[in-house]
C-alpha cells in the first residue's frame, strides 16, 4: 500500500514539474510576442512645422513630449497640432535648440508604445531645422 502511495507521489511530482516548465515556456512565448507587438513600427515618416512645445514630464517614467504646429495650417487648432514623444535625451536636447523654429521631425509610429517610451505612439528619433 505504501509502495503504491510513493509511486503516486513520484508521478505527481513529475507531472507538476512538467506543468511548471510548460507554464514557464508559455509565459516566455507570450511575453516575447507581447513585447514585439507593442514595439512594432506600423508607420515611419516625417512631419514639418513650428516646434512650439517641448518638455520632460512624468511621475514614474520621465518622458520627453513635444508639440508641432504643422506647416501649411494658418490657425492653430487641434487638427493642426501634432503631439509626439522624443526617443532619447539627446533628441530632446536637439529639439530644445529649435523651439519656436521650423523643423522636420523624423518619427516611427508604434502600435502601442510602452509608458517609458512616451505618452504618444509617435516616437521622434531625429530632428533637423528647415531652411527656407
pLDDT digits (tens, 9 = 90+) for 107-118: 999 988 888 888
Q: Within this chain, do residues 112 and 123 fall inside the same structural domain, yes or no?
A: yes
Helix (H, G, I), strand (E, B) or coil at 83: strand
What is the number of structural domains in the chain?
2
Q: Within this chain, do residues 76 and 114 fall inside the same structural domain, yes or no?
A: yes
Rounded alpha-carbon distances, angstroms, from residue 125 to 49, 87, 95: 16, 5, 10
Q: Within this chain, do residues 46 and 86 fall inside the same structural domain, yes or no?
A: yes
Given a contact cutoff of 8 angstroms between Cβ atoms, the answer to whether 69 and 52 are in contact is yes
Domain limits for position 33: 1-38
Nearest alpha-carbon partner for 102 in 64, 60, 130, 66: 130
For residue 108, what pLDDT is reported? 93
Q: Within this chain, do residues 26 and 49 fall inside the same structural domain, yes or no?
A: no
Confidence of residue 75 (pLDDT cuts 50, 70, 90): low
C-alpha cell at 75: 490657425
For residue 78, what pLDDT is reported? 67
Q: Within this chain, do residues 73 and 116 fall inside the same structural domain, yes or no?
A: yes
Amino acid at each position: 500500500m505504501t509502495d503504491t502511495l510513493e509511486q503516486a507521489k513520484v508521478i505527481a511530482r513529475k507531472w507538476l514539474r512538467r506543468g511548471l516548465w510548460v507554464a514557464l515556456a508559455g509565459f516566455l512565448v507570450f511575453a516575447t510576442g507581447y513585447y514585439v507587438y507593442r514595439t512594432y513600427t506600423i508607420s515611419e515618416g516625417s512631419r514639418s512645422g513650428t516646434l512650439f512645445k517641448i518638455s520632460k514630464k512624468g511621475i514614474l517614467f520621465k518622458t520627453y513630449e513635444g508639440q508641432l504646429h504643422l506647416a501649411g495650417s494658418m490657425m492653430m487648432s487641434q487638427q493642426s497640432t501634432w503631439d509626439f514623444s522624443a526617443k532619447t535625451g539627446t533628441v530632446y536636447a536637439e529639439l530644445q535648440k529649435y523651439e519656436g523654429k521650423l523643423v522636420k521631425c523624423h518619427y516611427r509610429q508604434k502600435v502601442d508604445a510602452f509608458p517609458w517610451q512616451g505618452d504618444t505612439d509617435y516616437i521622434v528619433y531625429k530632428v533637423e531645422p528647415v531652411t527656407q
